[in-house]
Each structure stands twice: as C-alpha cells, then as structure tokens.
Amino acid sequence: MLDSKAAVQAWNDYHVTTYIRPDFVIERGQGMTIYDDQGHEYTDWVAGIAVNSLGYGDKGIAVAIAEQVSTGVIHTSNLYHTRAQSQLAQTLVEKSFADRVFFSNSGAEANEGALKFARRVAYDSGNPDKIGVVTFSEAFHGRTLAALSLTPKEKYQKPFKPMMSNVTVGEFNSIESAKACINDSTAAVILEPIQGEGGINVASDEFLLAVRELCDQHQAILIFDEIQ
C-alpha cells in the first residue's frame, strides 16, 4: 500500500492534472468528518461536492451496498431490468412532483440529457429549428462541452471555445432580463434555484414563477439544475 507521500506523487505522475489537490490523503469518514491517514480531522462543508448529503460511514448505506455487491450484479445497462432500479424510480416519483425519472451518472450528464430531451420535444412538435437555450449569469452546469456552454465563466470556457451556439445568457433573478431572453426560438431554459458555484445565490419565488410562465408561453422546457 502506498504511503501518503507516495500516493500524492503517484497521482501527480500518472493522472492528468485537472484539479490542484492539497497534499493529504483521505482514509475514512464518519458523519460530516473525514480523516486522513495521519489521523487529522477535516469537516466536509461541501458534502463531497454535494454527493454525500447523508454523510460518511452511514451503516444503512454500507449494508445496502454490501447486499447488492453480494449478488454479483453491480452494474447493468439500460438493456435489462433490476429490482433496485425499479424500486428507486418508484420511490423518487412517489416522494416528489415528478411523473417519471431518468438516471444519469453525473450532474453534467443529467443536464446533457435534459438538453437532448428539450431538443427532442421541439423536434417532435414540428419545430426542428427551435434550438435556443437560455442560461443565467453566475451559473454552473458542468464541464462537458454543452454543460460548459451554459456556464458563462470565461476562465472555464476559454480553452475550449467555440462553445455550443444558440445560447443566451440572462441576468439571474431579473424578470425583465428573462423576458428579453426567452422567445419562440427557445427550446430550453436552465437555471439553479440556488446557485452554488456562483456564491449561494437564491432565486426569488417571483423570478421562478415568471420563468415558469415564460416557458409555458413560448413552449420551452424548464430545466432546474438543483443539487443544493
């Protein structure tokens, strides 16, 4: 097993550099606390970048994972049924406003799927040229190319330009800006009800309702990128 120094060095030597990481190695976690291999404690205020909202070391989750792994089935494609997938889909629909769910591997992939869904709705409605997408200032929607196109930050976009075309950037929380951006050529409007990367900016109820009404008026799909 690699010690801390060797683990950090191996990562730097063999993995593509995308993030600058601190030089400690996480070994375990409990609740909202993670521990490195030297015994130092760190409070994880970002919940593993919003994917560990139930905390670390949850016994129920550990048992569920162990039971699933013991079946020998740890991954299936969209080609086959599993009870776990069906049960999760049913639970999510019954506990939310949704009529159906779509499983993705990441937030960026979910947003890409939502954009394709919006394009497909326009196409099936006889409007193949209805391809505009409206996003808002200070947004963060992911690092895949289409999701990055909806993230209006020059430092993220510059090395990968040109971005996806037909994207309009409105001012977050501005009803007047939303009115100016959303029109009959808009296939989708995407926004975060609570922006995280942008600085914990909360969309007002009035803004969200206005955007909903504008999407209905112009037959555009409203996408809430909500992980906060």
Q: What is the CATH number of the domain that holds 53?
A: 3.90.1150.10
- Predicted confidence at residue 39, as pLDDT, reads 93
As separate numbers, helices (DSSP H) first and strands (DSSP E) second, the chain gives 9, 9
- Indicate whether 62 belongs to any domain: no
Same domain, 171 and 76: no
pLDDT-based confidence at 198, cuts 50/70/90? confident
Q: Structurally, how many domains does the chain consist of?
A: 3
- Structure-token pair, residue 35: 């521990």
- Indicate whether 145 belongs to any domain: yes
- Predicted confidence at residue 16, as pLDDT, reads 95
In angstroms, the CA 84 to CA 202 distance is 34
pLDDT-based confidence at 73, cuts 50/70/90? confident
CB 113 within 8 A of CB 160: no
Phi, psi of 137 (to 5 degrees): -55, 145
- pLDDT of 76 higher than 80: no
Q: Which of 64-73, 123-132, 173-182 has the lowest mean pLDDT?
A: 64-73
Same domain, 13 and 30: yes
Name the pTM for this structure. 0.90
Same domain, 44 and 112: no
Same domain, 184 and 111: yes
Same domain, 8 and 112: no
- Predicted confidence at residue 49, as pLDDT, reads 84
CB 44 within 8 A of CB 32: yes
- Structure-token pair, residue 129: 């040229």
